[in-house]
Structure 1
Amino acid sequence: MSRKKQVIFIMTDTQRTDMLGCYGNERMITPNLDRLAREGIRYDKAYTTQPVCQPARAAIFTGSYPHSCAGWSNCMGLSDNVPNIGQRLSDAGIHTAYVGKWHLDGGDYFGLGRCAKGWDEDYWYDMRCFLEELTPEERYRIRQMESIEKYNITEDMTYGHRCADRAVDFIEKHRDENYFLVVSLDEPHGPHICPKKYVDLYEDYEVPIKENMKDTLENKPEHHRIWAGEEYLKVCREDFSLKPKEFLGCNTFADYEIGRVIDAAEQQEDAPIIIYTSDHGDMMYAHSLTGKGPALYEEIVHIPLIIRGLGQGVDTNPVSHINLAPTIFDIFGVPIPKMFEGRSIWQEVLNPQARCNDYVFMEFGRYEVDHDGFGGYQPLRGVYDGRYKMVLNLMTSDELYDLEKDPQEMVNLIEKPEYEEVKKRLHQAILDNMYETRDPFRGYYWEDRPWNRRTEFKTWDSRLMTRQRENEEYEPRQLDYGTGLPMTAAVRKKGESDAKFAEK
């Protein structure tokens, strides 16, 4: 722990684990992130809560699952009664600053250009702020991949570089304060804009063709086949090759900008703690799919996570973005709010051999509100226990994979009777999590599945429970409907407090 409690939280967008050298791909040029991994703790089984930009960020920056804070789709503003962690930490006396992509205000991809509650307005710099510095011609050019060569894109023209500039300025000016600084890069997300020299590093690089890039999806959910379509199923052809030089070049450019922030931090007498992650990955034709969407395949949900400044090693236990907010609060010594839906992995940070999560949970609601496409509403809930991954696809069919035997998730085991105990255990874990977190989409339809007929709660009243929120730091304690008095227990049988105060 540094003399001052200082944490720099760095994140990228659409950066898969195999896009970092430290996660085993020696062809990737990411020296700064690789150095963080050598000097810190690398988490080998870290997962996003939802493989979409806004929902992933919602979990990180509110401590709540996307379904709990109305962040379950891009372009939806979060619930007004869900404070972000900047507001909570600021109210606890920590200087908080957010530089970079926010994507939580409902203001389409770029944001509204308005500082969210709790963060230092002098450093707020979402993508709308960046674009409004440019002329209309410059805005257009910076969104076209062809501009890399056509207009000789330089570092100072990019969003990532200007974010790093502000982050370095903050670090230098606030070295004597307790602070929480977020540096949120849009890179390497499309349109993959960066100086040409980074693209040239991958001029001759071809992505190795894995078995799951030839997946014809026969035993997979129907919506995966619709997503793939005839165009994307071309990956099964022998002549298929993938050369994403701009994407990977921008990936190395992001590493360079992150290096500038790390270098500035290391100029301090006591270097701040650095936490690094990415929001989600990209399918890149795995399972014949592109982008991200309503699936929980490893390519889009298994994300990089590194913490430097609290020890060294490799942690092989399952962890989640939902664990980050309470862990950050533990680092600062701030009480963890009841509203946080994940547990702190502080003990695991101190000892990577410890295991804080029996399961990590993932979900999907909708990809985008502004656009009709991307499959529309595709509700799913999933769980991973470190070996097995289960996915409940409410409107199609379900999935079960053994990642130890089948790391590329080719064989769907959901109909295999020999996995009966595993299926029931994971199914129960998903249901318990949905009810414990007040999932607004919970109901009997998640319980009664073709491979596990559970009908005990297939009634209109379901589990006959009341589950109210506890957010006393920012609002009065909620009242019981039947008595008008403050609730005594947030989770209780429906109507049980009525009897307690009933006239005799």
Structure 2
Amino acid sequence: MSKRKVLFLMTDSQRADMLGCYGNSDMHTPNLDRLAEQGIRFDKAYTTQPLCQPARAGIFLGCYPHSCASWSNSMGVSGNVQSIGKRLSDHGVHTAYIGKWHLDGGDYFGLGRCPEGWDADYWYDMRNYLEELTPEERVISRRTDSIEKYDIKEEFTFGHRVADRAIDFLKNYNDEDFFCVASFDEPHGPYLCPKKYVDMYADYKLPRPGNFDDTLEDKPEFQRLWARPFRHLTEDPEFRASHKEFFGCNTYVDYEIGRVLEAAEKYAPDAVIIYTSDHGDMLFSHSLTGKGPAPYEENARIPLLIKGFGSRVDENPVSHINLAPAVFEMMGIDIPKAFEGKSLYPELADGSVRVNDHIFVEYGRYEVDHDGFGSFQPMRCIFDGRYKLVINLLDTDEMYDLQEDPDEMVNLIHEERLSQVRNKLHEALIDQMYRTRDPFRSYHWEDRPWHRMERNWDSRHMTRQRENEEYEPRQLDYDTGLEMESAVRKK
């Protein structure tokens, strides 16, 4: 039976171990922990790119970032790419997006305009929030020290206003088929929340992970450059990461999510609830901070909880790219050809099913508007649940065995005993790049020092045209001017 009510909850920069249900009992997240008890907790869930806009492309467009001009922040999505809001609303589903969008090519706060397909009465991105404030309040909202200086109330925060609107939607439209998104910016900086949440972590420090001791000697050069300002910290055996504002906002957003979950239980108890975050945060692991082109677990692994299909823990590798087709399948709507991931629905419905042989993570650059953050760092990664292979096109490649080396300390890229496993992953990754029309595909990814392949100017001699026939005419064959018979064919 189809499930046509879906509440989608999302946070920003909240890696998996920032929830109690993922094993860190020091993190106070009672509402999300309760959701985990009621639903499925995915222990190996990954973003498509550990960066805000690209990650959202994988979720809300159903495409890898490289496929829709979203491989960096501040890039406009391709004009012929439709969001799932547009696609679902065209099938009679009431769609509402409330909160951080980050897919319109504007600056961090967005353009403040509702994209086609979503309910304009509920549209509320961060620019809309700022436009509600006075100039003085805007500055206050962007400074962490405002917590102490101005005694910030929950009603002042973006997260509270997002939650209010989501609750209102559930109250008013629970008798309709719906897909409602509440997208919180918290716990992303500038870390604004009521002081009592920050005080909870005033003296707290994260346990020291083993990868604080990573010298990065056999890792890519860009990681050593990234780590250079912080190595003196992690080299101190007594150093542990502390960030009371970050952790405080982590607990605060759990509170706001709890308000929405309470409303869902009251007004739409039969709704499927999906919760995730866009990406994680390094927090000094491997001497790195923030997010960027390294698909380490702290950065690329994200929490994913889904309520509505029983209660269990799923240990198969899954990706954000699996969510859009899953929503369509559970709603009984044909999955568009333009979606690039497999539907997670069979795995939701039957715990014995594993949908993905591999999942894929990529990276392009941090932001078009910013010169820093490593600038252009093309990366493609494949993970099979144990082995993670990373190709850094302009630098040293990596391979890790997460079963034997969960801290990802030992780079096995030149380990001869694993050459068959490594090369098989490499070939699957290259096939994926061609299958998804990756615009950066070339022989440079194929011919690596540890797996030599013949360089070929014309590569696979194929053409791969787009199939998006719900919203654009069938593309034409260059040689005949007639409608293409097959999207993938010899050129």
Question: Residue 488 of structure 1 aligns with which residue?
Answer: 485
**Residues 60-118 of structure 1: per-residue CA shift (max 9 Å, x gap):** 00100000000000010100100010000001110000000000001111000000110
Tell me the percent identity: 65
Determine if contact 2:276/2:304 at 8 Å carries over to the other structure: yes
SS at match of 1:318: strand
Determine if contact 1:41/1:313 at 8 Å carries over to the other structure: yes
**Residues 360-388 of structure 1: per-residue CA shift (max 9 Å, x gap):** 00100001111100001000100000000
Matches within 5 A, 1:407-426: 407-426=406-425
Determine if contact 1:315/1:353 at 8 Å carries over to the other structure: no
CA distance in 2, matches of 1:233, 1:280: 26
What amino acid maps onto 1:306 in structure 2? L
Determine if contact 2:230/2:287 at 8 Å carries over to the other structure: no
Question: Residue 349 of structure 2 aligns with which residue?
Answer: 350
**Residues 172-231 of structure 1: per-residue CA shift (max 9 Å, x gap):** 000110000000000000111000001111112111111102211111111100111143
Asked if 1:166 corresponds to 2:165, the answer is yes
CA distance in 2, matches of 1:232, 1:281: 20
What amino acid maps onto 2:23 in structure 1? G
Question: Residue 177 of structure 1 aligns with which residue?
Answer: 176
Question: Residue 134 of structure 1 aligns with which residue?
Answer: 133
TM-score normalized with structure 2 length? 0.99
Question: Residue 33 of structure 2 aligns with which residue?
Answer: 34
What amino acid maps onto 2:362 in structure 1? E
Runs of 4+ in 1 over 4 A off after TM superposition: none
Question: Residue 283 of structure 1 aligns with which residue?
Answer: 282
Asked if 1:331 corresponds to 2:326, the answer is no
Question: Residue 396 of structure 1 aligns with which residue?
Answer: 395
Determine if contact 1:216/1:236 at 8 Å carries over to the other structure: no
CA distance in 1, matches of 2:397, 2:382: 12
Determine if contact 2:230/2:284 at 8 Å carries over to the other structure: no
What amino acid maps onto 1:462 in structure 2? S
CA distance in 1, matches of 2:115, 2:221: 40
Alignment length, in residue pairs?
Answer: 491
CA distance in 2, matches of 1:150, 1:428: 56
Determine if contact 2:279/2:302 at 8 Å carries over to the other structure: yes
**Residues 403-453 of structure 1: per-residue CA shift (max 9 Å, x gap):** 000000000000111111111111011100000000000010000000000
Question: Residue 498 of structure 1 aligns with which residue?
Answer: none
**Residues 239-276 of structure 1: per-residue CA shift (max 9 Å, x gap):** 42322111000000000000000000101364311000
Where does structure 1 lack aligned partners over 5 or more consecutive residues?
495-504
Determine if contact 1:215/1:236 at 8 Å carries over to the other structure: no
Asked if 1:472 corresponds to 2:476, the answer is no
Matches within 5 A, 1:199-214: 199-214=198-213
Determine if contact 2:227/2:287 at 8 Å carries over to the other structure: yes
- Of residues 207-216 and 281-290 in structure 1, the stretch that sits farther from structure 2 once superposed is 207-216
Question: Residue 85 of structure 2 aligns with which residue?
Answer: 86
CA distance in 1, matches of 2:314, 2:259: 26
CA distance in 2, matches of 1:234, 1:256: 33
Give the deviation of 1:234 after TM superposition. Answer: 2.5
What amino acid maps onto 1:169 in structure 2? D
CA distance in 1, matches of 2:184, 2:441: 34
Matches within 5 A, 1:53-92: 53-92=52-91
- Of residues 433-442 and 242-251 in structure 1, the stretch that sits farther from structure 2 once superposed is 242-251
CA distance in 2, matches of 1:316, 1:157: 39
CA distance in 1, matches of 2:386, 2:285: 20
Question: Residue 98 of structure 1 aligns with which residue?
Answer: 97
Question: Residue 266 of structure 2 aligns with which residue?
Answer: 267
TM-score normalized with structure 1 length? 0.96
CA distance in 2, matches of 1:423, 1:183: 40
**Residues 277-319 of structure 1: per-residue CA shift (max 9 Å, x gap):** 0000000000000001011100010100010012110110000
Determine if contact 1:216/1:233 at 8 Å carries over to the other structure: no
Question: Residue 9 of structure 1 aligns with which residue?
Answer: 8
CA distance in 2, matches of 1:151, 1:361: 44
Asked if 1:20 corresponds to 2:19, the answer is yes
Question: Residue 110 of structure 1 aligns with which residue?
Answer: 109
CA distance in 2, matches of 1:241, 1:440: 41
SS at match of 1:164: helix
Question: Residue 459 of structure 2 aligns with which residue?
Answer: 462
CA distance in 1, matches of 2:452, 2:98: 49
SS at match of 2:14: coil
SS at match of 1:10: strand
SS at match of 1:45: strand
CA distance in 2, matches of 1:230, 1:107: 30
**Residues 155-188 of structure 1: per-residue CA shift (max 9 Å, x gap):** 0000000000000000000011000000000000
